[in-house]
Copies of this chain bind each other. A is one copy, B any other.
């Protein structure tokens, strides 16, 4: 029997993509739009407080193409907090002009290859804790995609011995490390939580790096033989100060 990977798990994550209902937005009175914007700013400020207190983190980007107009990413210590936050957004005046397009629920995840290092459980290390409860970078671009590990005939990630998986992931991580400083990657696990096994969220200063890293990694055996991919969302940062201009009609 093959040994399962043990994971270290951090904050709960919600990716939430919505489109602006531009027709309703334009039909609304100036007053209603101001009320909606005010409600949105109030939420953003609330989220910023949470981030300042290191009790969570969030990101807000505009999405390119018709899949959505906005992508939120929220990190919180509990599933309940994600749910409250989502419900509060749904009840806000702003949400009356936003159409839900997609969401993804997952948990920040690190693989735990060694149960202890010098007698210390790695999960207790401050640097690991920081990676499990990260403050998301305010980089210019975001990319989100979910993925599975393949389980078809000979190409079955889950029947590979732990060593073989480790070796493939090590090769894969070497490709990733070439992009240090260019791409920041957050892996969130969603087996038992959402429809794919993992979510991958990348941040970059230059969106071309998303294409370069994912393309280069596709030639690694971990991806070429064992990676299954679906949809991709890409976006540009939407700073709080730019929200009003983005929505100005």
A189 within 8 A of B: yes
CB of A22 within 8 A of CB of B143, answer: no
Assuming A65-B105, A159-B221, A207-B79, is B192 touching A143 (CB within 8 A)? Answer: yes
Quickly give the copy total for this chain.
5
CB of B7 within 8 A of CB of A79, answer: no
CB of B225 within 8 A of CB of A159, answer: yes
Across the interface, A14 reaches (CB within 8 A) one of B65, B69, B221, namely B65
**Chain A residues proximal to chain B, CB less than 8 Å:** 1-5, 7, 9, 12, 14, 16, 20, 22-23, 26, 62, 64-67, 69, 79-80, 82-83, 86-87, 90-91, 95-96, 100-105, 107, 141, 143, 145, 151-156, 158-159, 171, 189-195, 202, 207-208, 210-216, 218-221, 223-225, 227, 230-232, 234-236, 246, 249
CB of B91 within 8 A of CB of A22, answer: yes
Chain A contact residues: over half helix, strand or loop, or mixed?
Answer: mixed
Chain B residues contacting A230 (CB-CB under 8 Å) are 195
CB of A64 within 8 A of CB of B90, answer: no
Chain B residues contacting A145 (CB-CB under 8 Å) are 192
Q: Across the A-B interface, give the 3 residue pairs with the lowest CB-CB distance, nearest first.
A: A192-B214, A158-B224, A66-B103
